[in-house]
Amino acid sequence: MASSFLAGTSAAPSMTSWSESWGKCTSSFPTSAYIAYGGALAISWFIFELVAEREWTSVATLSVVAHFLGVVMLCVQVVSSSSGVGVSARALMLDAIALAFRLSSTLNFWGYLPSDASADYLHPICDMCSFALICYLLNKVLRTHRDTYQEDEDGMRLGPLVAVCCFLGILLHGDLDENFFADSFWMSGLFISVVQVLPQYWLILQSGGRMQALTAHYIAATALERILSGMFMWHSRAYITCAPWVGNFQHAIYAILLAHIIHLAILSDFAYHYFRTVLPNLGRSAINLQVDHTVYI
């Protein structure tokens, strides 16, 4: 049985006010997006070369830089088009919750931070900046540009997702912070970050595959974040411990690595459409993912 998340049945987009906002998109890639990419590369070089002094563990800090870049891409999209079309507020809410849970651990404890100097300030600062920008985006989408927000299409329920992630976070948490609440919050934040992209996917499907290119770059940055984070977790697997349930089996590290694999599996379907459609149209601000609307059984 073959299936594809993005190759599911998609309802035709309704003729609401948001559909007219596609006309606000410029025909070229915003200059500020190129500046954001250049800034992210410069910051990454600064962290790896000068702050972390080429320590391998700095990939953990580079992963949050990648996430910050993705959020900046969405900000550029919303500001340059003066529109909230194509942006899932529910995905942003999940992202904010995941960051808040992670920061509740990393701002108070050192357990899940890299061992190099970038952990002192840069790692939590990047997360706090991402959180602030997400709050800004939510204000823009839900208030300033409310008339362009695709509320009917952005209808995925968040309650069950958050509840399941929190339950698993409490059940499978490690003990690196040596604090039940901090460890549970960190693990719950990881699980929420895995499902965070699902509302954005849902919105793309409900919009008939239509999306702005910077939304695709945001999701691609999310994939890069997960790859870098997974590299750090694999490198640190021997140090991630928990109170085992059976014998000496350390379930926490397996839960963390499995979460990264599941996230990349979710993103892999998008990657196919990304490389097929987005990369050949890097100079365009709006693209169509050419989603196949048939259901594969």
pLDDT band at 191 (very low <50, low <70, confident <90, very high): very high
Average pLDDT for 43-68: 95
Residue 14, pLDDT > 80, answer no
Mean pLDDT is lowest, of 169-183, 217-231, 261-275, for 261-275
Distance CA 297, CA 294 (A): 10
Q: For residues 73 and 56, give the distance between their C-alpha atoms in angstroms, rounded to a whole number.
A: 27
Tell me how far CA of residue 22 lies from CA of 85, 86, 88, 133, 277, in angstroms.
Answer: 8, 9, 15, 23, 18
List CB contacts of 80: < 8 A, sequence separation 6 or more. 26, 30, 32, 285
User: What is the average pLDDT across 171-183?
Assistant: 95
End-to-end alpha-carbon separation of the chain, Å? 6
pLDDT value at residue 198: 92
> Which residues, listed in sequence order, are joined to residue 211 by a DSSP beta bridge?
287
Amino acid at 64: V
Assess whether pLDDT exceeds 90 at residue 6.
no
DSSP codes of every residue in 166-200: HHHHHHH---SSS-HHHHHHHHHHHHHHHHTTHHH
Residue 291 pLDDT level (bands cut at 50, 70, 90): very low
The pLDDT assigned to 72 comes to 96
Distance CA(27)–CA(283), nearest Å, equals 8
| Alpha carbon separation from 113 to 31, 60, 238, 248 (Å, rounded) | 34, 8, 15, 24
**pLDDT at 69 > cutoff 70:** yes
The answer on pLDDT for 290 being more than 90 is: no
288 vs 122, which has greater pLDDT?
122
Stretch 256-269: mean pLDDT: 91
- Which pair of tokens denotes residue 209? 């595959």
- Taking the C-alpha atoms of residue 181 and residue 178, their distance in angstroms, rounded to an integer, is 9
Q: Is the pLDDT of residue 260 over 70?
A: yes
Query: pLDDT band at 281, cuts 50/70/90?
Result: low
Residue 277 confidence (pLDDT) = 62
- C-alpha–C-alpha distance, residues 262 and 241, integer Å: 21
Residue 252 pLDDT? 96
Averaged pLDDT for residues 243-269: 92
Q: What percent of the chain has pLDDT over 90?
A: 65
Q: Is the pLDDT of residue 296 over 90?
A: no
HSE, side-chain direction, 13 A CA sphere, residue 210: 19
The rounded percent of the chain whose pLDDT value lies above 70 is 81
Calculate the alpha carbon distances from 45 to 34, 50, 59, 232 in Å: 17, 8, 11, 17
The residue extents of the domains of the chain are 30-288
Q: What is the pLDDT of residues 101-159, one digit of tens each?
A: 999 999 999 999 999 999 989 999 999 999 999 999 999 999 999 999 999 899 899 99
Could you tell me the two tokens for 272? 């196919």
pLDDT tier for residue 189 given thresholds of 50, 70 and 90: very high
Mean pLDDT on 183-208: 92
Core vs surface per residue 186-201: b (16+ CB within 10 A) or e: bbbbbbbbbbbbbbbb
Least confident of 79-88, 91-100, 207-216, 236-245: 207-216
Tell me the average pLDDT across 44-67: 95
Please say whether the beta carbons of 224 and 274 come within 8 A. Answer: no
This prediction has a pTM of 0.84
pLDDT at 276: 65
